[in-house]
Amino acid sequence: DIQMTQSPPSLSASVGDRVTITCRASQGIDTYLNWYQQKPGKAPKVLIYAASRLQSGVPSRFSGSGSGTDFTLTITSLQSEDFATYYCQQSYSRPPAFGQGTKVEIK
C-alpha cells in the first residue's frame, strides 16, 4: 500500500499569509494526487485534483504542484474561511489513501 505523509501536522498563520503544505507519497504516484479541505463537523471538500487542477468553484488562491512523490498545496493569501484541516489523497492505486492531515490555525 502507498503511504501518504503530510507536513507539518499543524501550523499557525495570519490572514493574508502565504501557506504551504507538503505531502509525500511512499512511492511514485505520477500526478494522481488530490487535496481536500475539512472544517469541524463537515465532510471534506475537494480543492485540487490531478495535483494541480482546481476543482470547479474553488477560489484561485488555492494551487497545487508536484509529481512523483512530492506535492505541495499553496494558499497565496489566507482568508478567515480557510482555517481548517487539509488532507492529501492518492488515487494512483488501491487503497486510495489519505494523509494524516494538516491543521491550519489562527495565529
Partner 1 sequence: EVQLVESGGGLVKPGGSLRLSCAASGFTFTSYSLNWVRQAPGRGPEWVSHISSSSTYIYYADSVEGRFTISRDNAQNSVYLQMNSLRAEDTAVYYCTRSSTYMSSYYGRFDYWGQGALVTVSS
Which residues in this chain contact partner 1 in the complex, by CB under 8 A?
A: 31-32, 34, 36, 43-46, 49-50, 53, 55, 87, 89, 91-92, 94-101
Instruction: Give the Cα separation of 33 and 70 in Å (integer).
Output: 10
Using CA atoms, how far residue 10 sits from 7, 32, 91, in Å, is 8, 24, 24
Q: How far is the CB of 68 from partner 1 (least distance, A)?
A: 15
Whichever of 11 and 17 has its CB closer to partner 1, that residue is 11
Beta carbon of residue 45, minimum distance to partner 1 (angstroms, whole number)? 8
